[in-house]
């Protein structure tokens, strides 16, 4: 079955000029962009997006980081794209993410409170539906 997932190029990725490389990897893999925009997210939107992390020590710094600059939001479509994009992205920590992945090739630890890991991808069909609703109504 064809799925949709929400992909974000986070402020670190946009600021470092990596948006094109991220989108190129998605397209090269054979997935399709169905929505795409550059946005300065609002705090309330980010708090909804990250509500599962509310109460964790990195929640506040995470929201501040996501407010620090524009993000690129995309809806990406394809068979098993939710799992497929997470595989392209690599594991959360860029220091140890596998080379060949977006985070493994392009990310590093900058010694900040929050993992600046370039991209976000929905982790399940339920999250994807919820997050696409938040970012694209
Ligand atoms: P993401 O998977 O998009 O959603 C939660 C984000 O919080 C994650 O990417 C990282 O940017 C950040 N994050 C997750 N775990 C930690 C952690 N233990 N310490 C700092 N930041 C984290």
The interface predicted TM-score of the complex, written ipTM, equals 0.91
37 is in an annotated binding site: no
* Residue 92 CB–ligand 1 contact under 6 Å: yes
Q: Is 120 a catalytic residue?
A: yes
* Residue 58 CB–ligand 1 contact under 6 Å: yes
User: DSSP assignment, residue 3?
Assistant: E
* Residue 115 CB–ligand 1 contact under 6 Å: yes
Q: Which domains does the chain possess? A: 2-136 (3.30.70.141)
User: Quick one: pLDDT at residue 1?
Assistant: 85
Rounded CA separation 12/49 (Å) = 18
DSSP per-residue string spanning 32-55? EEEEEEEE---HHHHHHHTGGGTT
Q: Tell the residue nearest (CA) to atom 11 of ligand 1.
A: 115
**pLDDT tens by residue, the chain, 137 residues:** 899 999 999 999 999 999 999 999 999 999 999 999 999 999 999 999 999 999 999 999 999 999 999 999 999 999 999 999 999 999 999 999 999 999 999 999 999 999 999 999 999 999 999 999 999 99
**CA end-to-end distance (rounded Å), the chain:** 23
123 CA: nearest ligand 1 atom: 2
DSSP per-residue string spanning 50-101? TGGGTTSTTHHHHHHHHHSS-EEEEEEEEETHHHHHHHHH--S-TTTSPBTB
101 touches 46 (CB < 8 A): no
């Amino acid at each position: 079955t064809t799925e949709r997932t929400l992909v974000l190029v986070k402020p670190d990725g946009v600021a470092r000029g990596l948006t094109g490389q991220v989108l190129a990897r998605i397209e090269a893999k054979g997935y399709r962009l169905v929505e795409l925009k550059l946005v300065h997210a609002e705090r309330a939107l980010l708090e909804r997006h990250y509500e599962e992390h509310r109460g964790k020590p990195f929640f506040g710094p995470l929201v501040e980081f996501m407010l620090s600059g524009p993000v690129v939001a995309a809806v990406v479509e394809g068979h098993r794209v939710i799992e497929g994009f997470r595989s392209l992205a690599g594991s959360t920590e860029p220091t140890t993410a596998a080379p060949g992945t977006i985070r493994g090739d392009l990310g590093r630890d900058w010694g900040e409170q929050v993992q600046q890991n370039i991209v976000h991808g929905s982790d399940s069909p339920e999250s994807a539906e919820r997050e696409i609703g938040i970012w694209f109504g």
